[in-house]
Amino acid sequence: MFGLTRARTAAPLVAAAAAASALTAAPPAVAAPQPIVGGTTTTTTDYPFVMQITDASGNQFCGGTLVAADKVVTAAHCMAGESTGGVRVVGGRTYLDGTNGTVSKVSKIWINPDYTDAANGDDVAVLTLSTSMPYTPAAYVSSSQTDVYAAGTTARILGWGTTSENGSSSNQLRTATVPVVADSSCKSSYGSDFVQTDMVCAGYTSGGVDTCQGDSGGPLLIGGVLAGITSWGEGCAEAGYPGVYTRLATFSDLVTAQVHS
């Protein structure tokens, strides 16, 4: 089973899913995932569209966002190598060890056909659920809403990932706010690994607040819309290395076609 969050580790940024596997009992994968560092606890009542993505045994390894009753947007690196029979989506469950909410099997996994690795971009996937979720879906950024990524804009991150680099995952859903980072600054941090058309960075120069292992695939909300997906990064909450998220406006038309298929 692949990692839980973004490929955010000092190890090679291979399949951001690998590091995540360390957060679960699943077999090792490739790069490092992420939970929320420096945030606060919250509930799925406040954020009903936030989904747990688990293996068939119920072990959470990534997050996702409900965008229609039977469609969930997540990261491609979370789904690479997965099969529909091995994945479940859980909605309405604030705690990882809870038994409430709705559990659905997955009938289809769509991975961006251009995806090869989180650090190369194109990190988006759409799951079609066998059981519709009775929760309010998130609004999805349109291809024309590029202004949401203006530097300094406040963004919200959510997940069950670890609360410190290589730490333990959070049993309760957590959230935090981070500012969108200028593309030029993100380029300075990550060099050629930062693909401006496909990625957006968010975080503080001093670090301290970030997504981490296990948060991969979860939402980056800006202005009340799903504008990004937790993808990868160097470590968790490290100064000078903001979190890297899929720039969803770039893939809006592609994803919308899947959501309405």
Distance CA 58, CA 75 (A): 19
Phi, psi (degrees; rounded to nearest 5) at 206: -85, -5
Q: Among residues 77, 122, 215, 231, which one is catalytic?
A: 77
219 vs 26, 49, 85, 179, 216, CA distance in Å? 23, 9, 24, 14, 9
Count Cβ atoms below 10 Å from residue 256 Cβ, excluding itself.
Answer: 16
Point out the catalytic residue in the list 123, 198, 210, 215.
123
For residue 260, indicate whether it is catalytic: no
User: How far is the C-alpha of 98 from the C-alpha of 243, rounded, in Å?
Assistant: 28
Q: Report d(CA 212, CA 160) in Å as an integer.
A: 9
The verdict on whether 77 is a catalytic residue reads yes
Active-site entry in 21, 170, 216, 231: 216
Please tell me the distance from the alpha carbon of residue 98 to that of residue 83, in angstroms, as a whole number. 25
What's at 253, amino acid-wise? D
Alpha carbon of 73 to those of 49, 54, 105, 255: distances in Å?
10, 14, 15, 8
Catalytic residues: 77, 123, 216
